[in-house]
Structure 1
C-alpha cells in the first residue's frame, strides 16, 4: 500500500513539473510575440513646423510672357496630424490686349485658410494630398491704356478720324476684391525637408469694387474675371522648405505590414 501511495506521489510531482515547464514555454512564446509586435509597430516621430515656399509658375510666366509680372510666397504650419494653417501673399501685374481696348492691372493680395491632408503615409513618409479652403483679398489699380469705340455703322468714319474714347483713359486706383477658393493639391518630399508641390483652385468672387465706367477684368490673386460669372480658376507649382520646430509621436504602419493586412482580408 505504501508503495502504491509513493508511486502516485511521484507521478503527481512529475506531472506538476511537466505542466510548469509547458506553462513557462507558453509564457515565453507570448512574451516573444508581444516583443515582436512592439518592434513591428515602431513609433515614427512626425515633424511639426513652419514650411516656407514660392510659387514657381509666376516667375516662369514672368520670364516667358512680356505682359506679365508676378511673385507669390507660400507658408503653412501644422497644427495637428492632418490639419495645417496655410496662406499666401503675392503681387501681380498683367497687361491684356482685347479687340477694342488695352489695360493693365497691378496689385497685391493675401490668402489664408486651412489644409487637410487626406493621404495616410507609410512609415517614415510625410507626403501630402490636401483638400483646402482659402479666403482671399486683393487691393489693386487698373489703367486703361487705349480704347477704341466700336460702331458697326461707321457713318462718321470714327476709326480714321481718331475717335477713341480718350475721356475713359487713365488709372483707376483704390479697387479691391474678396473671394473664397477651394484647393486640391499635393506636396512630395524630394529630399529631407524640401517639398515639391502643385495645386488647382476653384475661386468664387464674393465682393468686387470697380469703377463706374470700366469693369475689373483681371484681379491679382483671383485671376481672370469672366463676364456674367463669379467663378474663376487658378493653379500653382511650388517648392518649399520645412523648418522643424518640434516632433510628436504618431504610430505608422510599415509598407510590409499594410501589404500583409491586405492579403489577410
Structure 2
C-alpha cells in the first residue's frame, strides 16, 4: 500500500513538467512603442515681459512685443511675432530719436518628446525672417574737424526699412492649465539690401538691435496662453 502511494506520488510529479518545454529560452520582450497619439495644439498667444521692464533702463528702447504660434504639423509650429520700439538718446554730441514697428515670421521645431497628446511644452529651435519700418531723426549733431573746425548739423526725419534673419533656441513650460512661461536666445543677422546700404545708418533697428554688432544676440522671456 505504501509502495503504491509512493509510486503514485512520483508519477504525479513528473506529469506536471511538460517534456517539450525543457531547455527552451525566455520569450522575447515586446518592443516598446510610443502609444501617445498626436493631437494638434491650439492657438497660443504670448507677450514678452522683458521689454516693458527694460523701458526703465537708461539708453534702452521703450516698446512691446506679442507673438502667436500654431502647430501646423506634428512638432512644427508656425510663428508670428510683432511689436513696436522707440528710442531717444540725449548725448553730448547729438540728440537721436528712432521709432517704428517690426514683424517676424518663422517656424519652430519641438524636439522634446510629448508626455500627453495635447502637451504644449516645448524645447525648440527656430528660424525667423524679420522686417521693420521705422523713422529716425538726429538733432544738434556736432562734428569736429581739426582744419575746418566744429560743425553743428542735423539729420531730418527719415523713413527706413530693415531686413534680417534669426536663429533661435528656446523653451516653453506649462505652469498651469494652458498657461506657459518661456524664454528664447536669438542670434540676428542683417540681410544685404537692408539698412546696411543706406546713407543714414541707424544706431538701432526696432525688433533687431544695434546695427554695429554682427551678429546681434537677444533674449526674450514671455508668458503665453493657449486657447
Q: TM-score, normalising length from structure 1? A: 0.66
Q: 1:181 aligns with which of 166, 174, 188?
A: 166
Q: 2:71 aligns with which of 42, 62, 78?
A: 78
Q: Which residue of 2 aligns with 1:116?
A: 109
Following TM superposition, the consecutive aligned residue runs of length 4 or more in structure 1 with deviations greater than 6 angstroms are none
Q: Which residue of 2 aligns with 1:104?
A: 97
Distance 2:50 2:210 in 1: 16
Distance 2:93 2:59 in 1: 20
Deviation at 1:197, TM superposition (A): 0.8
Distance 1:234 1:83 in 2: 23
SS state of the match for residue 194, structure 2? strand
Determine whether 1:205 maps to 2:194.
no
In structure 2, the CA distance between the partners of 1:220 and 1:150, relative to structure 1 (3 Å rule), is same
SS state of the match for residue 55, structure 2? helix
CA RMSD of aligned residues (A): 3.3
Deviations 1:43-83 (A, max 9, x none): 46645110001011111122444863201111100122211
Distance 2:83 2:203 in 1: 18
1:172/1:211 contact within 8 Å kept: no
- Looking at both structures, which has the greater relative contact order when contacts are Cα pairs under 8 Å and sequence separation is at least 6? 1
Q: Which runs of 5+ in 2 are unaligned?
A: 1-10, 19-26
Count of residues in correspondence between the two structures: 204
Deviation at 1:96, TM superposition (A): 2.9
Q: Which residue of 2 aligns with 1:164?
A: 152
Determine whether 1:58 maps to 2:51.
yes
In structure 2, the CA distance between the partners of 1:219 and 1:66, relative to structure 1 (3 Å rule), is closer
Distance 1:192 1:96 in 2: 43
Deviation at 1:111, TM superposition (A): 0.4
Q: 1:219 aligns with which of 205, 216, 224?
A: 205
Q: Which residue of 2 aligns with 1:69?
A: 62
Distance 2:190 2:45 in 1: 27
Q: Which residue of 1 aligns with 2:5?
A: none
Q: TM-score, normalising length from structure 2? A: 0.76
SS state of the match for residue 164, structure 1? strand
Q: Which residue of 1 aligns with 2:178?
A: 193
In structure 2, the CA distance between the partners of 1:109 and 1:77, relative to structure 1 (3 Å rule), is same
Deviations 1:83-104 (A, max 9, x none): 1111201100012345532211
SS state of the match for residue 60, structure 1? helix
